[in-house]
Amino acid sequence: MKADSNKVLSSGMAEPQNVLEFAERVLMSTSLGDKLAHAPVALTLDPPKRGSFIAPSLPGRPDHLKPKSNDGKSPFPSADQIHNEEQRGILLHFFANHELLAVELMALALLKFPDAPDSFRKGILRTLQEEQNHTLWYLERMKDCGLNFGDYHLSPMIWSHISSMESPLDYVSRLSLTFEQANLDYAKHYSQVLARAGDHKTADLLSRIYRDEIAHVGYGLKWLRHWKQKAQSDWDAWHKQLHFPLSPIRAKGLAPFNEEGRRKAGMDEHFIASIRRYQASRGRSPDLYWFNPDVELAANDINWKAPQRLEKLAADLEFAFALAAPSSDDLILLRNQPSDRHREALAHHNLTFPEVSPISELNHIRKNRKVRAEQPWGIPNPTLLSKNLGLELRGLLDDSISARICRNSEEIQTFIEESTHPNWLAKPLLSSAGRGLLRFTSDLIPSIKEDHLIEPWLNKEQEFSLLYQSNPSDQGGLRFLGICHQEVSHTGQWISSTSVPKPANGLPTEYSRLVANEVLPAAKKEVKNALSKLLESHNYHGPVCIDSFLHRTSEGLEWHQVSEVNARWSMGRLAHNLRLKLCPNRSLTLTTIPKDVPL
């Protein structure tokens, strides 16, 4: 039966005669009833034509239902809060807004792409009607909880991510395979949670919606495969189609990951594994990390270009930095992208990479993405990276062990004549990991051509690092994080770092007593206060490591508070972060093993 062309809706809009008129009603009407009214049975499918529809900034809504970006956002109820009827209503309110936005975006897709295949448009119409049903079901159940639609915040987030779509492939990639994929997690999880809470009516409603969402994701997958390049995997084609700020993280709900639902939708195992381990920010601008272990060398030479040997070493070590330093909301730049096999193996140990991009894209990201802060391994600032920083801290702590910066053998001679120490050490001011270190005796002074820190060679027995994080004062200021034991070769090169929950435990009794009674109290007070003053004078915020050690003298075991200050990341800090992620109540040792050594 043909629709009456003279029929007028409550909003004043004429009864739609074809798909485009129906879609315009759904999108632009300010009547919720019009938006949720099904298409007339006799609706005709418009003949294909070139699209020119321009999306509005927001869909038509009654005033009390207009989405607003920052309008008292309601916290998403947790599973533990679902026993409370009002919290259940807030949950349904959240879902209803998403369903209504999906209805409006599907209408927008019909208007934008009238030249798409008939079967594609018919699929959208069918899905749109199901989403209208979902919205109505949520509204009805919400009323049972004492809430009306619009009582809480209505976010436009989904609209802002999808309304700029430029092709049908954009549509299925953004809506069907991103936000509807996330509903596979939400619908199944909250159906189970509500059933356990005794609300079987809402649990059954979510189960029905879950079955529909499986079909909706399957629809998107079907058309992705239709339009993608044959050589591309489903994952690669979909991932490539998403553009910042939208990323695959939005395809995962804040609920347990639902592999079964994704398989039922037709996703292959590669796609499922890839989305399961994918990490990226859900909204806040990421911190940008990259591993530049040659930072001291770069600080000393504005034209520095790392040799291939150092780049290879950095490529071998950067995964440890990527796994330890950033949070899941951050972005890490890598020389080599981790393989699926490597990611899968790490995931079994609860280690996941955040969002990853090639390090070659650094300048592109700086120009095109909003980044909260840049967080490289180290900032190539000669002042902050100089051995002189440690000398400044020693001065604030009244360190009794003499040290001086010298630029030639004559200055060294003059300095060491004042001391009775027979063995000495010369360190280039900008070096790390024992590079350039010279050990000499008072009767055989080396020839140097640049500034070196000269200090006595002491009989070290236990080396460790005091770990700190320097933040602005309104973010907590300087924090002491702990102590990390270091193993160093006789030439001063790093071998391993061991992070422990209780720094004095596991050491020989004499060492343990000194660490517990002297090192830890001072690290938390006197050393921290002096370090805070030093870092404030240099306006530095970031990771800080103080190399320190116990050494043997004629009077017994003593603590040398400050060997060096590293205003950057360190292997000790990586070990500390990895321990907190992997085994917070046990010790963890970070070391390197040659590739040809069997594990």
Same-domain pairing of 100 and 220: yes
Same-domain pairing of 201 and 225: yes
Residue whose C-alpha is closest to residue 142's, from 128, 152, 131, 157: 152
Q: At 555, which CATH number?
A: 3.30.470
Tokens of 592: 């390197």
Domain assignment of residue 560, yes or no: yes
Same-domain pairing of 268 and 301: no
Q: At 235, which CATH number?
A: 1.20.1260.10
Same-domain pairing of 263 and 358: no
Listed ranges 151-160, 261-270, 482-491; the one with the highest mean pLDDT: 261-270
Give percent above pLDDT 70 in the chain. 96
Domain tally, the chain:
4
What confidence score (pLDDT) does residue 597 get?
Answer: 67
Domain assignment of residue 15, yes or no: yes
Same-domain pairing of 149 and 178: yes
* Over residues 271-293, mean pLDDT: 88
Q: Which of 122-126, 203-207, 348-352 has the lowest mean pLDDT?
A: 348-352
Residue whose C-alpha is closest to residue 28's, from 43, 45, 6, 11: 11
CA distance 266 to 218: 6
Is residue 362 within 8 Å of residue 333, measured between CB atoms?
A: yes
What confidence score (pLDDT) does residue 168 get?
Answer: 96
Confidence check: pLDDT of 2 > 60: no
Is residue 286 within 8 Å of residue 371, measured between CB atoms?
A: yes
* Over residues 204-226, mean pLDDT: 97
What confidence score (pLDDT) does residue 203 get?
Answer: 95
What confidence score (pLDDT) does residue 4 get?
Answer: 41
Indicate the residue among 317, 347, 376 that finishes a domain: 376
Give percent above pLDDT 90 in the chain. 71
Same-domain pairing of 263 and 367: no
Per-residue pLDDT band for 11 (boundaries 50, 70, 90) equals: low
Same-domain pairing of 320 and 251: no
- Three-state SS for 469? strand
Domain assignment of residue 358, yes or no: yes
What confidence score (pLDDT) does residue 563 get?
Answer: 93
Note the pLDDT tens digit of each residue in 112-161: 999 999 999 999 999 999 999 999 999 999 999 889 999 998 999 999 99
Confidence check: pLDDT of 71 > 80: no
Note the pLDDT tens digit of each residue in 226-240: 999 999 999 999 999
Domain assignment of residue 385, yes or no: no
Domain assignment of residue 74, yes or no: no
Same-domain pairing of 219 and 332: no
Residue 323 CB neighbours (<10 A):
21
What confidence score (pLDDT) does residue 6 get?
Answer: 41
Question: Pairing state of beta strands 588-591 and 542-553?
Answer: unpaired
Domain assignment of residue 93, yes or no: yes
Same-domain pairing of 494 and 525: yes
Same-domain pairing of 316 and 361: yes
Indicate the residue among 243, 277, 311 that finishes a domain: 277
Indicate the residue among 319, 351, 376 that finishes a domain: 376
Domain assignment of residue 422, yes or no: no
Is residue 575 within 8 Å of residue 498, measured between CB atoms?
A: yes
Is residue 151 within 8 Å of residue 96, measured between CB atoms?
A: no
Residue 327 lies in domain = 287-376
- Peptide bond just before 245 cis, omega within 30 deg: yes
Confidence check: pLDDT of 9 > 70: no
Same-domain pairing of 232 and 337: no
Domain assignment of residue 428, yes or no: no
Same-domain pairing of 135 and 246: yes
Per-residue pLDDT band for 72 (boundaries 50, 70, 90) equals: low
Tokens of 419: 């001391």
